Amino acid sequence: MLLMKPWHKLAAQQIVELKLEHEQEKTHLFQQHNTEKDCLVQDHEREIEKLEKQLRAAMTEHDNKILEFRKRDAQKEPVWLRLSDE
């Protein structure tokens, strides 16, 4: 068995403690990163939902205008009929 001098023992213990601190910091930063990432994903999902809702509203309005124009056009006399009366 390798005998360690007291100061070697202390240095080895400090290294172990530093490694443990480093791992704890890595874990903390990883958790913090995941939390921030999850928040960003949720923000993006909400923004996408909002944009999809706006898109559906715009498409409905567009469809309604097309129907309105078609009805109006159907009520008008065709151009060729008007020209033959002249």
Q: Does residue 39 form part of some domain? A: no
CA–CA dist 59, 50 (Å, integer): 14
CA–CA dist 66, 60 (Å, integer): 10
CA–CA dist 19, 26 (Å, integer): 10
Domain that holds residue 70: 46-86
Q: Does residue 16 form part of some domain? A: no
Q: Does residue 40 form part of some domain? A: no
Q: What is the pLDDT of residues 23-78, one digit of tens each?
A: 999 999 999 999 999 999 999 999 999 999 999 999 999 999 999 999 988 887 66
Q: Does residue 21 form part of some domain? A: no
What count of Cα atoms within 13 Å lies in the side-chain half-sphere of residue 77?
A: 6
Q: Does residue 78 form part of some domain? A: yes
Q: Does residue 36 form part of some domain? A: no
Q: Does residue 13 form part of some domain? A: no
CA–CA dist 53, 28 (Å, integer): 38
* Domains of the chain: total: 1
- In the 8-state DSSP scheme, what is residue 83? H
